[in-house]
């Protein structure tokens, strides 16, 4: 199993970040000096992915523009001797082979993934949610790809969350294979207390086989009236081998205000242009609280 392709579903309406996301896609909001989506593309590239499909919608063409060349701007930067900015602007456009497909109706994450069927063909592929940024020494997608290749199986990225929090995620039924890797035999989307399989929640990263498409075609709308990816994954893990990887690293859900601010502060603290200043600023603020 060799994973060369990735799909980034980014066609959600972003209602938790309104009004900011009314006309600016949440994936394009700045995380210090780069849009959120760029961190996700960089993670995929760092995992050896060559071709990336972004699932978008009619309000999200800013993403296609961002990963394109911009000759007028580049000429101006060149003339002004702004070499660093020029390199960064070009680098974004040259990160990977990026393709786009529209999800014409917002029918849920499972439906968005199904739109990738033609792009994926008959290869295994990675899925990275467009608003989940991971910070890890080894890219989380690389951790999943490694496990998927080792076990010749699908893989889902999981971490332990509290019993109160698991009802917001998908809970997986697991049995251990080795340190941090489990085999998956069942799962539940947004479980009620009596439906919780374990406190391991699926968090934004997957390696799947094209078998998911045939399954998604027959999945009925589930929680919230949407085609849920978890309902398709449940069927997939009952049929085929699936592993869960308790990945090393921190996940930020930038699709809600608190997660977005946590990520902004952590990334800004680490950034050489903002870190020293922000440290001083936070100390001053904390003294006033």
Binding site for ligand UTP (CB under 6 A): 9-16, 55, 103, 106-109, 111-112, 129-131, 255
Pick the closer one to ligand UTP by CB: 34 or 102. 102
Task: Decide: 190 and 234 in contact? Cβ < 8 Å.
Answer: no
Q: How, if at all, do strands 51-56 and 5-9 pair?
A: parallel
DSSP letter, residue 21: G
Q: In terms of CB distance, is 16 or 241 closer to ligand UTP?
A: 16
**Smallest separation (angstroms) from ligand UTP to the CB of 12:** 2
How far apart are the two ends of the chain, measured CA to CA in Å? 54
CB of 55 to ligand UTP, least distance (A): 5
Residue closer to ligand UTP, measured from CB, 103 or 230: 103
In the complex, what is the shortest distance from the CB of residue 133 to ligand UTP, in angstroms, rounded to a whole number?
11
Nearer to ligand UTP, 109 or 216 (CB): 109
Residue 288 burial by CB count (10 A; 0-12/13-18/19+): exposed, middle or buried? exposed
**Least distance from C-beta 76 to ligand UTP, angstroms?**
33
Q: Which is nearer to ligand UTP, 43 or 131 (CB)?
A: 131
Residue entry with tokens 């946590």: 262
Minimum Å distance from CB 103 to ligand UTP?
5
Q: Which token pair is 45?
A: 């590239």
Chain residue whose CB lies nearest ligand UTP: 12
Task: Provide the 3-class DSSP secondary structure of residue 113.
Answer: helix
Count Cα neighbours of 184 within 13 Å in the Cβ-side half-sphere.
Answer: 36
């Amino acid at each position: 199993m060799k994973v060369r392709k990735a799909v980034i579903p980014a066609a959600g309406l972003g209602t938790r970040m309104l009004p900011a996301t009314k006309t600016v896609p949440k994936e394009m909001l700045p995380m210090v000096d780069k849009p959120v989506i760029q961190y996700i593309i960089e993670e995929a590239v760092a995992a050896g992915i060559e071709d990336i499909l972004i699932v978008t919608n009619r309000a999200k063409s800013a993403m296609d523009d961002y990963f394109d060349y911009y000759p007028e701007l580049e000429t101006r930067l060149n003339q002004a001797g702004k070499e660093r900015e020029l390199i960064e602007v070009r680098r974004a456009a040259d990160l990977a082979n990026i393709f786009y497909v529209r999800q014409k109706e917002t029918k849920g994450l499972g439906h968005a993934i199904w739109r990738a069927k033609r792009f994926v063909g008959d290869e295994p592929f990675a899925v990275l949610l467009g608003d989940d940024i991971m910070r890890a020494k080894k890219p989380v997608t690389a951790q999943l790809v490694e496990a998927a290749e080792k076990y010749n199986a699908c893989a889902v990225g999981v971490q332990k969350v509290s019993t109160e929090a698991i009802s917001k995620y998908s809970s997986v039924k697991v049995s251990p294979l080795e340190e941090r890797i489990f085999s998956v035999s069942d799962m539940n989307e947004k479980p009620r207390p009596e439906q919780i399989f374990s406190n391991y929640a699926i968090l934004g990263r997957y390696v799947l086989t094209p078998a998911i498409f045939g399954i998604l075609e027959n999945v009925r709308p589930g929680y919230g009236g949407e085609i849920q990816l978890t309902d398709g994954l449940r069927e997939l893990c009952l049929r085929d081998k699936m592993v869960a990887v308790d990945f090393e690293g921190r996940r930020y859900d930038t699709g809600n205000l608190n997660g977005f601010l946590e990520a902004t502060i952590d990334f800004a603290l680490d950034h050489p242009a903002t870190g020293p200043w922000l440290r001083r600023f936070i100390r001053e603020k904390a003294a006033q609280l």
